[in-house]
Amino acid sequence: MLLTLCLFLVSAGAIYLACEYFVNGIEWLGRKLSLGATATGTVLAAFGTALPESAVTFVAVIFGKTPEARDIGVGAAMGGPLVLATIAYAVVGVALWGNRHRLQRADRLVRVDHRRLARDQSWFLAIFAVKVGLGLVAFALKPWLGVLFLLAYAMYVWREMRSDDSAPEDEELEPLKLRPHQAEPAMRWVAAQTVAALVVIAVASRVFVGQLEAIGEAFALPPHLVALVLSPVATELPETLNALIWVRQGKERLALANISGAMMIQATIPSALAIFATPWLFDAPLIVSGALTAAAIVYLWWLFRRGRVDARWLLPVGLLYAVFAGFVAWHFAH
């Protein structure tokens, strides 16, 4: 048990440290590729950090030999968006609130493109509604509909890559950590730092999830509680830590872009894989997960559509995950 706890803490620390290098490298990569400021978060950062959990879904649904093994992939495809829509946004709110004085801000307002974020929420909600609807019915052609989710993500990336928005002047790009004394590091160093950090994140995340499952077994927690409640939090840890790091730097625009982009990936690519390879039929916990995710997105859409968001208003959305955890615990106890 002591070894498990040590690995748990070491892997968590490794993920945070690697995220520090990743967010720094991804900002430089966005500049080198001449991408819009927000596209750096929604496409590059989101795709990189969502890769590990997408791989979990792929392995579970494609190579899983039992229905239970494939169900892990379906749970991951539903659990990821719920964590991002609730805990990740709440973390941004807490971080902004707590770092207000350090950032020398006179208010608690979230400095982002509100209209763009509201539009992202509506995109996600439309795709997510179809995704949940397919989980409630059974018909022969369902597997083919997975292609639509891949096309939806391709359209989203195309739209983001065409964006030419730029970072606000007060958002300074810190020197590349591998070349701190170079004003303009070479592309090979930027790529090396970004890829190396991503590899560490992926490996450390797998260790972290494994130790979390071992701790669950040691404390006799129900397997379903660990799989549906704790594991999604662990697999979305890189996105959450990226957001925390960017917020502490006063770059909540990048933080929320990363979360928004990761949510779009989670709503499409893992879902498409699971629809291809499984019956994609939901039980009660997955239905509740979908309903709470939709509720969180509607609330976030309403907030950003107003055009003025206080950091404290992001905190209540995190309570929805506690509601889900409570329901899962009650469901499997009866």
- CB crowding 110-122: b at 16 or more within 10 Å, else e: bbbbbebbbbbbe
d(CA 42, CA 258): 5
Angle (CA) 120 74 161, round 5°: 30
Give the chain's mean pLDDT.
86
Q: Is the pLDDT higher at 219 or at 30?
A: 30
Q: Give the residue among 318, 264, 239, 290 at the shortest CA–CA distance from 74.
A: 290
- Contact between 315 and 93 under an 8 Å Cβ cutoff? The reply is yes
What pLDDT score does 307 carry?
Answer: 86
What pLDDT score does 25 carry?
Answer: 92
What pLDDT score does 106 carry?
Answer: 85
What pLDDT score does 52 carry?
Answer: 64
What pLDDT score does 12 carry?
Answer: 87
- Per-residue pLDDT of 258-277, as tens digits, reads 899 889 988 898 888 888 88
What pLDDT score does 127 carry?
Answer: 93
What pLDDT score does 64 carry?
Answer: 65
Q: Is 168's pLDDT higher than 60?
A: no
Q: Is 169's pLDDT higher than 60?
A: no
The mean per-residue pLDDT over the stretch 225-244 comes to 83
Q: What is the pTM assigned to this prediction? A: 0.88
d(CA 258, CA 235): 15
- Per-residue pLDDT of 53-65, as tens digits, reads 676 677 667 766 6
Helices marked H in the chain: 2-32, 37-39, 46-63, 67-83, 89-98, 114-134, 146-161, 187-218, 223-225, 231-235, 237-248, 252-277, 284-306, 319-333
Least confident of 35-44, 125-134, 140-149: 35-44
